[in-house]
Structure 1
Amino acid sequence: MKQKKIFIVRGMDCASCALTIEKALKEIPELSSANVNYATEKAVVESDGPIDSFRLQSAVKEKTGYELIEERTLPPGHEGHQMNRVQMPGEMEGHDHAKMLKEEEIKKLWTKFLWGAILSGIIIFLSLPDYFSFIGEIFPKGARFFLLLILTTPVEFWVGKQFWTSSWASLKRRDVNMDTLVALGTGAAYFSGLAVTFLEISNWKLGIKLDVFFDVAAVVTTLVILGKYLEAKAKGSASEAIKKLLKLQAKTAHLLHEGKHEMEVPIEKVVSDDILIVKPGEKIPVDGVIIEGTATLDESMVTGESLPVDKKEGDAVIGATINKTSSFKMKATKVGKDSFLAQIVAMVEAAQASRAPIQKFADLVVSYFVPVVLIIAAAAFVVWLVFGPAPAFFFALVNSIAVLVVACPCAMGLATPTSIMVGTGKAAEHGVIIRDAEALELAGKINAVILDKTGTLTKGEPAVTDVVAFFKDDGNKVVRYAASLEKLSEHPIAQSIVAYAASLGSLSSHPLDKAVKAAAEKTRLYEVKNFKAIPGQGIEGDVITEKGNKKLYFGNAALMESKKIDLSTNQELIEKLENDGKTLLLLADDRMLIGIIAVADTIKSTAKEAVQRLQSLGLEVWLITGDNERTANAISRIVGIDKVMARVLPQDKAEKVKKLQALGKRVAMVGDGINDAPALTQADVGIAIGTGTDIAIESADITLVAGDPLGVANAILISRKTLINIKQNLFWAFIYNILLIPVAAGLLWPQWEILLNPILAGGAMAFSSLSVVLNSLRLKRLKI
């Protein structure tokens, strides 16, 4: 059985670290896939069989030196499904542990920064005897250098300890990363200062002016730690979407023990089939079904739908939503990882940990970045040692240190995942659940949208509006025939006809009115033999009446045409009903048309606005339906769509998607994820309208939890803005390195005598990563 696990990665300081860990994981034979995300600091691994966590952790520790901590186990695919119940609080322990580790890391970074800042301030002050003459009077040069050495040592090896430990681990595996650059740069400044201090104290005369760069070592280390601290805080803010979702979960529930005694219990004690009482103002503890009472619920926190929803007996309710009105009893149906909220958390987390195709180029650059920077730094040192102004050694050293500390692969590594993290979180807040980063990227490139009529633009709840009987049959007889033929079908239209017949029959409960009872008797369903479904047309069967067998056909005009039934005398009526946007079901025997049943589906209140918003985004919008042209055109006029595909069978929808793709369109298909599954799979992006408390629709790349068509525009808008944000981040990350590395190497010195001070270089490096994260956080302010 396939298994997927998520691990927290400790000690990962840069994008190249993530690639190193990922490479090590992919070398483990039993793993079918591995993805390490620097922004989320998590590794997601998948295997066709059970995953031995201890063996995997040991292998990664041995190969890379990085520690993996198991967060939780997920099934493959959409991570919402679980065979065994795991209570929600228990499930969240992994998230709590991750939060604890992150808070611990942030606190440690802040402590180190404070000490680094204090010591660096003193070091800078003691490094400026030309500005403060009394320093030279109090401390002779050798004594001052030695004092600077003492003060710089804890900054270099305690504040900056992570750079040295990471570099040493990289060296042992014959690899380099960003920490290598920082350690080399600050180490060069520190150890050159150590050598100069030794020479000065020993009173060796080399014939050149000696100087130390302890201020460079201390300040650069402190600035990089500050950058790490701010980056960690910003990344924590970027992952707030999941934190908000986790906070929604109720902590307790009112359990009806043995059907009699009400008792308050922790949420983890609730199991399926428990009977619970939910009082006004309380959160619904778990997913379930109302068994007694009614209520109005606020579901906005999980569906994004702002309007309250009325619920009655038999209706499903979602855990974490709020009961706004009266008390009711409910039966728990889904708890722990099976719950709706847990599915959303798992899907958002999986999306945030995934990798977008646009990231591949950045990963490729990062994999070669550090070795190239080392070569540039070495070249700068050699060139300026030969051609630099006196003292050439120190001039060359300053430039090579500047190259090492200004280079920043982290900005490139963070450019895509931080935007994905914020974008998917923003989408989840509006009831749009995106499967993975690739789906988000593709959705941002969509230029054509196909909207299925039923369930997308309409409520998917058809109802009988007209019954027309011809010749000697009355309307009740037509309904009785049709319902008899359709009684075993699960199609919504069939069910609406049977329900209509039942509503007539239900009048038989009236105790006095004989006329009413007679009418009810007339709607009792007949037995049907030789039933046959005709795909795309309708059904036929022998109805066993009081007067014997009657061969009947019930379906669309195509069925009537195939059975040679003449419709010409009723064509005007048929056209009138179809022009009203109604779907017609025609009933005939083997000679003539004997009745018509018209069915209409209510158009969703936001359908027209949704279409307008899609068109305002420059999208080509299509309506696709199995209805005939007149009915389809009537619906399209109401919602404002001018491109219609009518008479399309469910199995042919995928072919329609292909035809648009062949014209160069990037197509999003929007449907219910069941009848439209092949078309959703064929489309560049499949968008499923939520159909209940199970949002793990396999054929969908994006799921709209609330079932609101406005969510389609929201999904595409968020995806577009996220993609733009990613491109901005990548542009900044590449431009920063392309411009500043040559400047740090001394490119501007021959012409303008401009150098990049290593301290400024370190500050710029810290700011570059931070700026990428902060730019990603702008997506949180996106107005939908």
Structure 2
Amino acid sequence: MEALADRSVSPSRAEKPSRLSLPVEGMSCASCVGRVERALAALPGAREVSVNLATGRASLAGVRPAEAVEAILGAGYDVPEAVTAVTVEGMSCASCTGRVERALLSLPGAVATSVNLATGRAELRHAAGTVSLAAVEAAVREAGYETVTAERAADTSRADRQARDEAALRRDLVVAAVLAAPVVVLDMGAHVFPGFHHALAAWLGAGTVPWLEALLATLVLAGPGRRFFRVGVPNLLRGHPDMNALVALGAGAAYLYSLVSVAAPRWLPAGAAHLYFEASVLIVTLILLGRTFEARARGRAGAAIARLIDLSPRTARRLDGDGERAVPVESLRVGDRVRVRPGERVPADGTVAAGESYVDESMISGEPVPVRKIEGASVVGGTLNTTGGFDLTVTRTGADTVLARIVRMVEEAQGGKLPVQALVDRITLWFVPAVMGIAALTFVAWLAFGPAPALGPAIVAAISVLIIACPCAMGLATPVSIMVGTGRAAERGVLFRQGAALQALQEARVVALDKTGTLTEGRPRLTDFLTVPGVSRGEALALAGAVEARSEHPIARAVAKAARAETGSLPEVAAFETVPGHGVTARVNGRSVAVGSRCQMERLGVDVAPLAAQAERLAGEGRSPVYLALDGRLAALLAVADPVKLEAREVVAALQARDLTVAMLTGDADATAQVVARSLNIEKVHAELLPENKVEALRALRKAHGPVAFVGDGINDAPALAEAEVGIAIGTGADVAVESADVVLMSGALTGLVEAVALSRATMANIRQNLFWAFAYNAALIPVAAGLLAVFSGPQLSPVLAAGAMALSSVFVVGNALRLRRAGGT
């Protein structure tokens, strides 16, 4: 919930509800009631405060929901929250999203909202039980837009709806172009062919041509152009104009002025009866052209989601008593056994029950090399079986599969808002009304100071201002880049679980990495086994492995694994005893066996001098030395190490090359940590840390260098992941749902960290480019449209050119965002 609040619009501009009722959790007695009542009554403007212990609810008037929730939380109690999401149709610019946000925030119980223009998704965070789906849909309709019903959402994916909208735009564009072409020819033919108008008048009659233009223009505005009037005029009447209203005003003004010039020219000043039918039809046609290109590009921007969804096969070969039978994937249940043949995609998450193969897991890891799968290995649904066949026992289906969770995470990230969007929202809230005001001032200025007859040029200038201003580009600048950037990241095996993590990672100045499992493989292994003269290596290793097999310590597991691999089965153990922090003892085959540290040996009276020098050398190399004693005498020295990942040095160097400070945080001994740090060229090392100490270390790094990104396993390092500006979890596909991380590197490869940094920087740079273009475009061209050049004897901007420039602005923003599809790489 906190993450959503970070990227949502606060309800500061929403109207205060007359009465608010909130659920409160944690109250157990009358003193609890009194505490909550006092906290709420202390809020400015609060009145009629009432808290009921039996119902577990608090009610009051005069304050905003967010303020009441904060007061209840501050009193030590909880307000359960819920998120209601709907898909909104009809939004075309940033002012549309602002209007929907304000409508949702006016609902009682609303805390924060996020509306995304690129995805059409609206999310409302509210106190649980205070807002229904029907209320959210009604608020959206009241704002002038429609929602996609649950039935339609189930029948059609977002990609299907985008394809449908693009087809409708393309159809309207063709109709508008066919009808507009004769108008342009009739109006402007004389500029190309001298005598064209005289020949046309002689053929059709002098008064027929203007009426023919009027008829065709009426068909364009009433047909393809109806979409602008249907949405724009009601919003204008509600006092909430949007981009559709600007187009409707511009094209409608040109059309009506021309119609008056044809039907009642005496109503106009002498010499002012001009025709602008071609401007009205070309405004509609060019804006439809821009929106068609924009819709196509936006569909390509969301292609990553579509590709992920398409990875899931439609059918599976389920094994039952009758043999092999093809069934829909939706009918699979946990425990079912399915057969996967070469070249087929795995239908669900599961484990290999029989057979062996190599599986291409690039869809979750970004790594192109197929992974060997043997009996007992985990396999992720949607991955591609390459060579052999195998039988799979299903462990997860439907929405619980890794692929489904990945799609859900990417959709949530794409639907979110970055903190930088808050500035855009504040500007666009007043942008359209400001444009209408500028257009009105332009009209008045031309009438007052323009050469007579000034009415025609005044209307042209006002229409140009209305049309050229483009809040569409402002609204799309951020969300389309997020869509493409997070989609590209998912294809590269990097999951941004929140869109805001893109900005947070780009702003990070320190990357702090956990050691075990992040910089190292996380699987200690036996690296050295030195015996004293007269001791058999095989026998000594078997005895040590037998004893260590009874221990759960990582070093013990490494020794036991190596012993099994070298000697086969291990002998039976009796009288096993563990000494915490020192080692273990037992009897094996009638012999006394002790494995442990130097302190353990000294406690048992065993002289370790013969191998002490070698133990010191191994410790200096970052390995953990362990002694073996048989029947009270030193027998061998073992060394266990957690190898550094092959790519770790390259990754650290790449991060440092990007001007990032790299630090290592670990709970291991300082000597071991320093060895690993030296091998990787990491200067800042914090060792022997408990989880809470890692949080303190992160705070120190932040104070010294700036915002911090922490990289860990997402479970043991949860406090550090939460403390950092952005938490990054190293995990495999099976561990993808790490709840404590903002970013998940699904392959488990550390190279994904460089990918994440590169993609976050590329995406934020792309957003800055888009915002600069959107705002600079309007700042430069609105004065030109108003007639600035005409003041200096230059040309007056035509509404047709204004429409073309407006369409180009949105297409440029979306096209620039699509460049992110090639971003990434170390």
TM-score normalised per structure 1: 0.86
Q: Distance in 1 between matches of 2:82 and 2:627?
A: 51
For residues 255-288 of structure 1, give each alpha carbon's deviation from its aligned partner in whole angstroms, at most 9, with x where no partner exists.
1114x61112121121111011112222111110
**Aligned AA (2:132):** D
> Are the aligned partners of 1:481 and 1:525 in contact in 2 as well (CA < 8 Å)?
no
Could you say if the C-alpha distance between residues 748 and 506 of structure 1 is closer, same or farther in structure 2, counting changes exceeding 3 Å?
A: same
1:37 aligns to what?
116
Q: How does 1:499-648 map to 2 (within 5 A)?
A: 499-500=561-562, 507=569, 520-521=571-572, 524=573, 526-528=575-577, 538=581, 572-584=613-625, 597-648=638-689
For residues 589-610 of structure 1, give each alpha carbon's deviation from its aligned partner in whole angstroms, at most 9, with x where no partner exists.
9x99998642112333322322
Q: Distance in 2 between matches of 1:597 and 1:426?
A: 46
> Are the aligned partners of 1:482 and 1:554 in contact in 2 as well (CA < 8 Å)?
no
For residues 426-445 of structure 1, give each alpha carbon's deviation from its aligned partner in whole angstroms, at most 9, with x where no partner exists.
10010000011210111112
Deviates more, 1:402-411 or 1:290-299: 290-299
Q: For 1:599, what is the secondary structure of its paired residue?
A: strand
> Are the aligned partners of 1:64 and 1:169 in contact in 2 as well (CA < 8 Å)?
no
Displacement of 1:735: 0.4
Are 1:683 and 2:746 counterparts? no
Deviates more, 1:475-484 or 1:137-146: 475-484
> Are the aligned partners of 2:593 and 2:628 in contact in 1 as well (CA < 8 Å)?
no
Q: For 2:744, what is the secondary structure of its paired residue?
A: strand
Could you say if the C-alpha distance between residues 198 and 318 of structure 1 is closer, same or farther in structure 2, counting changes exceeding 3 Å?
A: same
For residues 438-464 of structure 1, give each alpha carbon's deviation from its aligned partner in whole angstroms, at most 9, with x where no partner exists.
101111122221222221122211122
For residues 274-303 of structure 1, give each alpha carbon's deviation from its aligned partner in whole angstroms, at most 9, with x where no partner exists.
011112222111110112222211111221
**Aligned AA (2:569):** L
1:100 aligns to what?
160
Q: Distance in 1 between matches of 2:641 and 2:593?
A: 27
Could you say if the C-alpha distance between residues 349 and 526 of structure 1 is closer, same or farther in structure 2, counting changes exceeding 3 Å?
A: farther
Are 1:669 and 2:748 counterparts? no
Q: Distance in 2 between matches of 1:67 and 1:408?
A: 23
Could you say if the C-alpha distance between residues 309 and 526 of structure 1 is closer, same or farther in structure 2, counting changes exceeding 3 Å?
A: farther
1:255 aligns to what?
318
Are 1:53 and 2:113 counterparts? no
2:97 aligns to what?
18
Are 1:65 and 2:132 counterparts? no
Structure 2: segments with no counterpart, 5+ residues: 1-79
Are 1:385 and 2:447 counterparts? yes
**Aligned AA (1:34):** T
Displacement of 1:320: 1.2
Are 1:113 and 2:193 counterparts? no
For residues 483-536 of structure 1, give each alpha carbon's deviation from its aligned partner in whole angstroms, at most 9, with x where no partner exists.
8688464x544433454566688535xxxxxxxxxxx24xx154447x75xxxx
Q: For 2:457, what is the secondary structure of its paired residue?
A: helix
Displacement of 1:652: 1.9
Are 1:192 and 2:253 counterparts? no
**Aligned AA (2:279):** V
Could you say if the C-alpha distance between residues 607 and 94 of structure 1 is closer, same or farther in structure 2, counting changes exceeding 3 Å?
A: farther
Displacement of 1:667: 1.8
1:89 aligns to what?
none
2:349 aligns to what?
287
Displacement of 1:93: 6.6
For residues 542-581 of structure 1, give each alpha carbon's deviation from its aligned partner in whole angstroms, at most 9, with x where no partner exists.
x676999x99995698x99999999999663333112333
Displacement of 1:137: 3.3
TM-score normalised per structure 2: 0.82
Could you say if the C-alpha distance between residues 194 and 567 of structure 1 is closer, same or farther in structure 2, counting changes exceeding 3 Å?
A: farther
Q: For 1:175, what is the secondary structure of its paired residue?
A: coil
Q: Distance in 2 between matches of 1:197 and 1:593?
A: 112
Could you say if the C-alpha distance between residues 174 and 586 of structure 1 is closer, same or farther in structure 2, counting changes exceeding 3 Å?
A: farther
> Are the aligned partners of 1:463 and 1:497 in contact in 2 as well (CA < 8 Å)?
yes
Residue number among 113, 124, 130 corresponding to 2:184 in the alignment: 124
Displacement of 1:69: 1.4
Q: Distance in 2 between matches of 1:199 and 1:394?
A: 15
For residues 108-152 of structure 1, give each alpha carbon's deviation from its aligned partner in whole angstroms, at most 9, with x where no partner exists.
111111111122111111113643232343455543222211110
Displacement of 1:640: 4.2
Residue number among 260, 274, 284 corresponding to 1:211 in the alignment: 274
Q: Distance in 2 between matches of 1:39 and 1:485?
A: 58
> Are the aligned partners of 1:356 and 1:441 in contact in 2 as well (CA < 8 Å)?
yes
Q: Distance in 2 between matches of 1:22 and 1:190?
A: 33
Displacement of 1:616: 2.6
Q: For 1:331, what is the secondary structure of its paired residue?
A: strand
> Are the aligned partners of 2:736 and 2:746 in contact in 1 as well (CA < 8 Å)?
yes
Deviates more, 1:378-387 or 1:122-131: 122-131
Could you say what the CA RMSD is over the residues aligned between the two structures, in angstroms? 3.4
2:221 aligns to what?
156
Are 1:320 and 2:382 counterparts? yes
For residues 744-764 of structure 1, give each alpha carbon's deviation from its aligned partner in whole angstroms, at most 9, with x where no partner exists.
111222223332111100110
Are 1:741 and 2:806 counterparts? no
For residues 67-93 of structure 1, give each alpha carbon's deviation from its aligned partner in whole angstroms, at most 9, with x where no partner exists.
111469xxxxxxxxxxxxxxxxxxx97
Deviates more, 1:130-139 or 1:301-310: 130-139
Q: For 1:507, what is the secondary structure of its paired residue?
A: coil
2:242 aligns to what?
177
Residue number among 720, 741, 755 corresponding to 2:761 in the alignment: 720
> Are the aligned partners of 2:598 and 2:608 in contact in 1 as well (CA < 8 Å)?
no
1:82 aligns to what?
none
Residue number among 301, 308, 320 corresponding to 2:370 in the alignment: 308
1:77 aligns to what?
none
Could you say if the C-alpha distance between residues 597 and 46 of structure 1 is closer, same or farther in structure 2, counting changes exceeding 3 Å?
A: farther
For residues 706-737 of structure 1, give each alpha carbon's deviation from its aligned partner in whole angstroms, at most 9, with x where no partner exists.
00100000000010011100000000000000
Q: Give the paired residue count.
A: 738
Q: Distance in 2 between matches of 1:365 and 1:205?
A: 38
1:401 aligns to what?
463
**Aligned AA (2:105):** K
Are 1:9 and 2:72 counterparts? no
> Are the aligned partners of 2:341 and 2:389 in contact in 1 as well (CA < 8 Å)?
yes
Could you say if the C-alpha distance between residues 767 and 627 of structure 1 is closer, same or farther in structure 2, counting changes exceeding 3 Å?
A: same
1:514 aligns to what?
none
2:420 aligns to what?
358
Are 1:453 and 2:532 counterparts? no
> Are the aligned partners of 2:540 and 2:636 in contact in 1 as well (CA < 8 Å)?
no
Displacement of 1:766: 0.6
Structure 1: segments with no counterpart, 5+ residues: 73-91, 509-519, 533-537
Q: Distance in 2 between matches of 1:219 and 1:189?
A: 11
